[in-house]
Amino acid sequence: MSRAHLSTATVVAPQVRVWWDSNCPLCTKEIAFIKRLDSQHAIDFVDLHATDVASCPLNTQDLLARFHAQDVSTGTIVDGAAAFALMWTVLPPPLRWVGTQASRSPLLLSVLERAYVWFLVHIRPSIQRWDKTQRSPKS
């Protein structure tokens, strides 16, 4: 008789929930990268375009405008750099270290937030315009 083998992998309940925009090509690449790093399944990834929007705790437009994350244990929702820092704290080093340091340091979090806002204002619109031209039918 063969003996059944049980998996020794630990199943971890998600510690962080993130809402993301699957219509954003950069977001899709970033989330795919983070999912590969999240070997413990500590993050619950919620695609805003594949989810019943009634189940979202915030207005969908707000969730699409900025990156949001929730500490599942407390229910606290943060956005921007604080959301990235929260997500990074449950990933392997060095991201865990960066997330922990950013969460503890208002100065570092402020610098990261400024960089994030700069990206939202100056880079993201260009990426979205480029993606739109790539998706439009060629004549």
pLDDT band at 5 (very low <50, low <70, confident <90, very high): very low
Cα–Cα distance, 65 to 68 (Å, whole number)? 9
Number of C-beta neighbours around residue 1 at 10 A: 3
Helical segments of the chain, H only: 25-37, 60-65, 81-88, 95-104, 106-118, 124-135
CA-based R_g, the chain, Å: 18
Q: What is the DSSP string of 2-59?
A: PPPPPP-PPP---SEEEEE-TT-HHHHHHHHHHHHH-TT--EEEEETTSS-GGG-SS-
Q: Identify the pLDDT of residue 2.
A: 45
pTM: 0.84
| 3-state SS, residue 93 | coil
Residue pLDDT, tens place only, 25-81? 889 999 999 999 999 999 999 999 987 777 789 999 999 999 999 999 999 999 999
